[in-house]
Amino acid sequence: MPSSKRAKSRPYHHGDLKRALLDTAREMLQEDAGWQFTLREVARRAGVSHAAPYKHFADRGALLAEVATNGFLTLQAAMRSAAERHTESCRATLQAIGLAFIDFGLANSSLYRLMYSAEIDKSAYPQLEQAALGTFDALLSVLEQGQKSGGLRPGPVRGQAAACWALVHGLTTLQIDGQLTQDKVGNKPVAVALDTLFEGLQS
């Protein structure tokens, strides 16, 4: 049953209609673990008329694109914050941003799936594409600094970033799907995987 029917509506009482719609869509996303709800359902749940969402969003895709954009911005901030808190070594910084990425995905699994879903054409939403690239740029900056400091071996930095991204994205998805079980991968697979990644990157 859609979230708009099974959960109590939250009447809209303030002037920030756009924020109310985004917050409502995010809640419905988490509750249903999917994004098949309609704009009409979001409006009903937010306590506004079914036409109200169209003041800010051309269609459901535009609403979901903005939800995903905000997700990427939050993830980017978490990665940069982790990097700033762990500057004692290149290894510590890389591990910190990797864990920040994974922790975000696990805490926001439905949002994470939406952010990386092929259903949203990022090229159609420049702000979403820019926000998604921002998370990659946060990783690039750490790798570039690591090469400059001598902590990481020299090489094509974007290729190194792709390897890091593939690993943490894969780990996140596998954990969300409950696939990183002890009988398959042993104890502390994430820590071991991140250590293995760094060992391949260090100079």
**How far is the C-alpha of 136 from the C-alpha of 97, rounded, in Å?**
11
155 and 87, same structural domain? yes
Domain limits for position 138: 60-201
Total of domains in the chain: 2
65 and 47, same structural domain? no
Rg of the chain over CA atoms, in angstroms? 19
pLDDT tens by residue, the chain, 203 residues: 344 444 444 545 456 899 999 999 999 998 876 788 889 999 999 999 889 888 999 999 999 999 999 999 999 999 999 999 999 999 999 999 999 999 999 999 999 999 999 888 888 999 999 999 999 999 999 999 999 999 999 999 999 999 999 999 999 999 999 998 888 888 889 999 999 999 999 87
151 and 105, same structural domain? yes
160 and 76, same structural domain? yes
- Residue 1 belongs to a domain: no
119 and 141, same structural domain? yes
- Residue 141 belongs to a domain: yes
139 and 83, same structural domain? yes
The pair of structure tokens assigned to 9 is 């509506």
106 and 34, same structural domain? no
Q: Quote the pLDDT of residue 5.
A: 43
106 and 19, same structural domain? no
163 and 72, same structural domain? yes
43 and 130, same structural domain? no
> What 3-state DSSP class applies to 14?
coil
3-state secondary structure 53-90: HHHCCCCHHHHHHHHHHHHHHHHHHHHHHHHHHCCCCH
Q: Quote the pLDDT of residue 185.
A: 87
